[in-house]
């Protein structure tokens, strides 16, 4: 008997019909093909030979692009789906938060739903009664609990469903993208609640596209790509590799337009390589075909999805090569790979150069910033910058 909370996945394969739902038609075709010993057609492997072992109390993030098999793996783990081949074994009580809102019935009141959804999740009625107040309080519903759920906003439904589902004390918690709805404060609350479950010794498997929360919740991370495990290791490393691979997916358009071209961009620290917390200098060479009053935006971030901060300055472009220097007193980005963004807007916010990733560089320094586990930083920052500009030569 494996210790409670352990999950073991061995040689897991799963396939779906590629283009439509599986119907009896397909079953008969499948049997016919089998009888004629012809290869079966139109199936797509969603998971291919997945082997995993998750220890009790471990928190594991599952990441990957859409269609990489994350949700399918989670459904197989929760035994909602059966595998094509291989096995999933676990011990202990499983709480699966897969699309939690689905468990609510719209014609019933919030109160009735608490009881019925709770029983659906395997609770005893008197346990629910005991925690009823706690659930309503956590969901911030107040008197609305006696209203029919169809009159709830989607945020309220989400809060109610999450509150019910997370109040049970599972030994294994499987979570699929539950935080998609709900406002920021409730997202924080639900993250806190998940951490609490973790602290009680539960095993967590968390699927999300929100890498920041994965980083906050999970020590280990598994990157699924096309149905196979691309990488399995410490969250920081896996996310970094994942982001690097994503960058290849984002098509980087040419950094030039009919009006201007970015000739060169460089970023240097005091002693060569840029370093966290130290002064950095960004140098740009722009060739312009027009003289224009414009505004230059520079951003730096750890992901090619969104910059951590953006600085800007008015710039007077002349015809020919323009040199621009931007200096930051202290680079506020932790160590690791970072991306630099550039955009130029002409009068009337007419884009001369679209704001986009123009390069990638390494920052030396600790990849860890010190803040409490689970905190997601997402508010804009003001960063001081000093700009200088000079005209180099006529085009």
Interface with other proteins (CB under 8 A): 11, 13, 15-16, 18, 21-24, 27, 39, 41-45, 48-49, 65, 67-68, 75, 78-87, 94, 96, 98-99, 102-103, 105, 107-108, 112, 115-116, 118-125, 226-227
Cα–Cα distances in angstroms (integers) from residue 122 to residues 103, 150, 290, in the given order: 13, 24, 70
* Among 195, 192, 254, 185, CA closest to 219: 195
Q: Would you tell me how many other CB atoms lie within 10 Å of the CB of residue 329? A: 13
Evaluate the CA torsion angle 361, 364, 367, 368 in order and state its sign: negative
Judged by CB, which is closer to other proteins: 124, or 270?
124
Q: Which is nearer to other proteins, 94 or 310 (CB)?
A: 94
Q: How far is the CB of 115 from other proteins (least distance, A)?
A: 8
Of the two residues 118 and 365, which places its CB atom closer to other proteins in the complex? 118
C-beta of 20 vs 393, nearer to other proteins? 20
Closest approach, Cβ 133 to other proteins, in A, equals 20
Torsion angle of alpha carbons 128, 134, 138, 143, nearest 10°? 90
Q: Which residues of 354-392 are buried (b: 16+ CB within 10 A; e: fewer)?
A: ebbbbbebebebeeeeeeeeeebeeeeeebebebebeee
Q: How far is the CB of 357 from other proteins (least distance, A)?
A: 21
**CB-nearer residue toward other proteins: 161 or 282:** 161
For the chain, what is the radius of gyration of the CA atoms?
26
- Compute the distance between CA of residue 110 and CA of residue 157 in angstroms, rounded to an integer: 9
Q: Which is nearer to other proteins, 54 or 262 (CB)?
A: 54
Q: Which is nearer to other proteins, 112 or 279 (CB)?
A: 112
CB of 259 to other proteins, least distance (A): 35
Query: Going by C-beta distance under 8 Å and a sequence separation of 6 or more, which residues neighbour residue 183?
Result: 155
Give which of 205, 246, 225 is closest to 47, Cα–Cα.
225
Ordered DSSP codes for 336-364: EEEEEEEEEE-GGG-EEEEEEEEEEEEEB
Q: Which is nearer to other proteins, 4 or 226 (CB)?
A: 226
Among the listed residues 227, 271, 259, the one whose alpha carbon sits nearest the alpha carbon of residue 365: 271
Q: How far is the CB of 230 from other proteins (least distance, A)?
A: 12
Q: How far is the CB of 131 from other proteins (least distance, A)?
A: 16
Whichever of 25 and 386 has its CB closer to other proteins, that residue is 25
Q: What are the distances in angstroms from CA 341 to CA 9, 16, 41, 331?
A: 41, 40, 46, 15
Spatial distance between the Cα atoms of 277 and 279, rounded to a whole number of angstroms: 7
| Smallest separation, CB 212 to other proteins (Å) | 24
Residue 78 and residue 96 in contact, taking contact as beta carbons nearer than 8 Å: yes
The minimum distance between CB 303 and other proteins, in angstroms, equals 19
| Rounded least distance, CB 198 to other proteins, Å | 22
Pairing of strands 336-345, 351-363: antiparallel
């Amino acid at each position: 008997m494996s210790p409670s909370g352990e999950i073991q996945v061995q040689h897991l394969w799963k396939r779906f019909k590629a283009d439509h739902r599986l119907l009896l038609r397909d079953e008969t075709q499948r049997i016919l093909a089998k009888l004629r010993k012809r290869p079966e057609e139109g199936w797509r492997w969603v998971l291919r030979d997945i082997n995993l072992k998750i220890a009790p109390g471990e928190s594991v993030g599952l990441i990957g692009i859409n269609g990489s098999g994350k949700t399918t793996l989670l459904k197989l783990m929760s035994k909602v789906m059966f595998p094509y081949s291989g096995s999933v074994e676990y011990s202990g009580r499983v709480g699966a938060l897969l699309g939690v809102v689905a468990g609510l019935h719209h014609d019933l009141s919030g109160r009735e739903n608490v009881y019925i959804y709770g029983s659906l999740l395997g609770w005893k009625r008197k346990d629910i009664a005991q925690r009823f107040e706690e659930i309503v309080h956590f969901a911030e519903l107040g008197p609305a609990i006696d209203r029919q759920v169809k009159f709830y906003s989607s945020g309220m439904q989400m809060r109610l469903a999450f509150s019910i589902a997370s109040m049970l004390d599972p030994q294994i918690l499987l979570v699929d993208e539950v935080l998609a709805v709900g406002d920021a404060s409730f997202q924080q609350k639900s993250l806190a609640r998940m951490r609490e479950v973790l602290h009680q010794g539960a095993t967590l498997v968390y699927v999300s596209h929100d890498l920041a929360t994965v980083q906050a919740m999970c020590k280990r991370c598994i990157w699924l790509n096309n149905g196979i495990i691309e990488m399995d290791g410490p969250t920081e490393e896996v996310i970094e590799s994942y982001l690097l691979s994503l960058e290849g997916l984002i098509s980087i358009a040419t950094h030039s337009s009919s009006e201007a071209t970015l000739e060169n961009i460089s970023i240097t620290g005091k002693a060569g390589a840029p370093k966290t917390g130290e002064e950095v200098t960004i140098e740009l060479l722009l060739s312009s075909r027009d003289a224009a009053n414009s505004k230059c935006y520079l951003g730096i971030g750890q992901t090619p999805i969104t910059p951590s901060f953006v600085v800007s300055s008015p710039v007077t472009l002349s015809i020919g090569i323009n040199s621009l220097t931007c200096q930051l007193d202290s680079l506020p980005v932790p160590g690791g790979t970072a991306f630099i963004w550039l955009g130029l807007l002409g009068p009337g916010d007419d884009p001369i150069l679209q704001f986009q990733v123009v390069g990638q560089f390494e920052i030396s320094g600790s990849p860890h910033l010190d803040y409490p586990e689970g905190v997601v930083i997402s508010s804009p920052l003001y960063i001081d910058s000093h700009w200088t500009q000079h005209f180099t030569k006529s085009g």
